[in-house]
Chain A
Amino acid sequence: MPDLTPSGQSILRSARGSSHFLRETLGRYYATLCGDLIILLTVTMVAFITVKGLAAFTGPHPLSPLKFLFSSHWQPDADPGEGGPQFGTLAFILGSVSVSGLAVLLAAPLAVAASILISVIAPRAGENFFRPVLELFTGIPSVVYGWVGLSLLVPFIRNQFGGLGFSLLAGGLVLALMILPTITTLATDALQNLPDSLLEGSYALGATRWQTIHRILLPAARPRILIGVTLGMTRAFGEALAVQMVIGNSVRLPDSLLNPMSTITSVITMDMGNTVKGSAWNNALWSMSLLLLAITFGFIVIIKRLGPQDTKNGNHF
């Protein structure tokens, strides 16, 4: 029988001598290593893309950063006789801004309105029906959104409004649909995380539900709703394939909803595989990648400014 009397030298006292290494230290090292790896990965990624992205601005034929950012003259394969290749990306920057801006303009009002239904007006149906459906749709691959845009939306726009159909409008609509579930879920979280006392306090003073929503609840949840909208914008801005499939990919300033154009991501997607490593054209594409990275950082800064992120239902990238 084991010795359970406390006085004796029980088995455990003898087992005590064995080292902590396997039982504690090794595990803690492993977990810490994984944590450090995340930093290492991020730093490496930023560093490599930065170095590669700056290559175009150095070397024997440096590109002018001002021209790169503020010229819309993009002729990467022009002969020296025609004035040499030109790498102005303004059209693409504006293209990205307008297509993701349009997507947010279309999606955000609908998303916020739906989130009010889910969180305040019909919370039971919200939890049991709307939320699972939204979650289901946040996982749909972007190529599927792109394909529906290409096979349904583009012909529809062509037939209804004329033109090619490939257009800013098509891109904006596809992206709007894509970010709708994300923004709706985050806005719902924002409203649901408000203390019940706000709602009760307002009702107790005789306010109607609508008065409570627009005077109390929406202002209180505003920072977090804006975070959701910004996250949707970030996702739309960085989306490559869905946009590339429907936007037409012509080098053109976004001057009309119905004209084809390009975005930063669509140009990178189209040309990165077709250019020679180290060429001026290829380097310019890497500079655009760096620009994309920098703009993403800008969005992260905005989100951090808006307030602490909710870690419960988390971020929906």
Chain B
Amino acid sequence: MATTSDLQSGRPLVQGNHKSAFRNDRIATGIFYAAGIFLVLLLFAFAGYIIYNGRASLNLHFLTTPPLFMQKGGGVGPQLFNSIYLLILASTLSVPLGVGAGIYMAEYARPSRLTRAIRLSLETLSALPSIVVGLFGLLIFINILGWGFSILAGAMALTILNLPVITRVAEESIRNVPPALKEGSLALGATHWQTIWRLILPAATPGILSGVILVTGRIFGEAAALLFTAGMSSPPLNFSDWNPLHYVSPLNPLRPAETLAVYTWKVNSEGLVPDARQIADGSAAVLIITVFLFNFLARYLGKALQKRSRAC
């Protein structure tokens, strides 16, 4: 029983092993710091290793010339072009669809079986291994539709990979728009869609845009979904022929197109070039730098647009 004198004497009412509790606390804190710092060092070492090893290849020659067969000194020009072209096509297909679905989920969906089915589908799509998406592409676009390994098939596969992420980003950005804007618009006699189109989408754009750029960075490095859709070869390209209907044109959507990520994988397993190691080092560095650049761009644009829309 505690008495006044106990309190005054400062003796603890509950006798606990305070010393060991504080010691454990300090040890645990030390361990957590060690874990966090180790994790970050690991990641930085990883990125540093790649960029350091690939530094020799970070030049215009490597980035623009085609690979050589059985010889040293080839570049990754066509592969880089293919990656960018695929990325543009995939974004063109997936952004309108993903934003549309995001609008549906954020604005029109009522709690119903349909909404639950879409939610489950989105979760499923985003959980699927990308190799499975690639196999689906092989089945539909190559085997059934007979497009052959092609940019178009690759773009479709990437679209499937993108769709759930863009939908989620769009839905979240739209939900973050203050409801007062929506009420104000409806009270002025705007329809729901007019409100979405004129107010909600513009207000949600910074969020959507930075999400889209992040996703884009991710598909830039995607390989597994492309092995059996865009293919593992690149026909000789004529970079002065920009007619998409010509077979040697870089823009021809029905030609096979090996991307930088796929090439990085393949150059190791085939070993047809003597400098495979340098090429892989260089490609890996280009891939990682590109992904980082996309990330910074997303961050910067997101913040800048946010600031502008708040100021304006």
Contact = CB atoms under 8 A, between A and B. Distances in A.
Interface stretch (A34-42, A73-81, A162-170): A34-42
A110 B38 contact: yes
Interface residues of A, number: 97
A48 B135 CA distance: 10
A238 B29 contact: no
A315 B167 contact: no
A33 B100 contact: yes
B187 to A, nearest CB: 14
B281 interface: yes
B126 to A, nearest CB: 5
Interface in B33-85: 33, 35-36, 38-40, 42-43, 46-47, 49-50, 53
Contacts of B214: 139
B86 interface: no
Q: Tell me what chain B mostly uses at the interface: helix, strand, loop, or mixed.
A: helix
A260 to B, nearest CB: 14
A139 B221 contact: yes
B174 to A, nearest CB: 11
Given A141-B261, A143-B261, A148-B46, A41 B135 contact: no
A35 B101 contact: yes
B24 A49 contact: no
Interface in B139-195: 139-140, 143, 160, 163-165, 167-169, 171-172, 189, 191-194
Given A32-B104, A296-B127, A141 B223 contact: yes
Interface string B216-240: 0110111110011000100000000
Interface stretch (A61-69, A114-122, A194-202, A250-258): A114-122
A210 B189 CA distance: 57
B252 interface: no
A37 B163 CA distance: 10
Contacts of B43: 133-134, 137, 180-181
B242 interface: no
A180 B24 contact: no
Interface stretch (B3-11, B243-251, B289-297): B289-297
A54 interface: no
Interface stretch (A1-9, A86-94, A266-274): A266-274
Contact of B124 (A42, A144, A240): A42
B2 interface: no
A234 B222 contact: no
Contacts of B117: 39
A241 to B, nearest CB: 5
Contacts of A181: 43
Contacts, number: 273
B305 interface: no
B24 A151 contact: no
Contact of A148 (B50, B121, B128, B140): B50
Interface in A198-212: 206, 208-211
Given A23-B194, A42-B125, A143-B265, 10 more contacts: A114-B38, A140-B287, A140-B288, A142-B223, A143-B221, A206-B14, A208-B25, A209-B29, A273-B227, A315-B126
Top 10 nearest A-B pairs (CB, nearest first) are A141-B221, A238-B129, A34-B100, A27-B193, A113-B35, A117-B36, A210-B28, A35-B104, A42-B121, A208-B25
5 contacts: A23-B193, A141-B222, A147-B268, A180-B42, A315-B126
Interface of B: 14, 21-22, 24-25, 27-29, 31-33, 35-36, 38-40, 42-43, 46-47, 49-50, 53, 97-101, 103-105, 107-109, 114, 117-118, 121-133, 135-136, 138-140, 143, 160, 163-165, 167-169, 171-172, 189, 191-194, 196-197, 214, 217-218, 220-224, 227-228, 232, 261-262, 264-265, 268-269, 277, 280-281, 284, 287-288, 291-292, 294-295, 299
Interface of A: 12, 20, 23-28, 30-39, 41-46, 48-49, 52, 110-111, 113-114, 116-118, 121-122, 130, 132-137, 139-144, 146-148, 150-152, 177, 180-181, 184, 206, 208-211, 213-214, 231, 234-235, 237-241, 245, 265, 268-269, 272-273, 277, 286, 289, 292-293, 296-297, 299-300, 303-304, 309, 311-312, 314-315, 317
